[in-house]
Amino acid sequence: MRTWLKEMRDSRRLTQSEVAMLSGISRSHYTHIEQGNKTPSVEVAKRIAKTLKFDWVIFFENSGSLKEQTEKEVV
C-alpha cells in the first residue's frame, strides 16, 4: 500500500472518487494505484500529483513518510 499517497489524499480531504475524477481516471484505477497494486503511467502520475499537489516523481522513488513527501511538495 502507498500509505504516503493515502495520507496526501486525506490531508487534502478528498475521497478516492474525487481524486480520480479530478485526475481524469476511474476510481477503480486510482484505488489500485493507492493500494500499490498498479504503478501509474508517467501521464497518470503527473495528473494525480497535480491534483494532490506533490512532485510526480515520488511514484517512482523509494521513499515513504508524509514528511519526506511534503518536503518535496510543489508550490
Is residue 15's pLDDT more than 60? yes
Mind listing the pLDDT tens digit for each residue in 29-62? 999 999 999 999 999 999 999 999 999 999 888 6
Q: What pTM was computed for the model?
A: 0.79
Question: 62: number of CA atoms within 13 Å, CB side?
Answer: 0
List the domain boundaries for the chain.
3-69
Task: Select from 1, 49, 58 the least CA-distant residue to 25.
Answer: 49
CATH 1.10.4100.10 for the 3-69 domain, yes or no: no
* DSSP classification of residue 39: P
How far is residue 64's CA from residue 75's CA, in Å, rounded to a whole number? 20
Q: Is the distance from CB of 4 to CB of 58 less than 8 angstroms?
A: yes
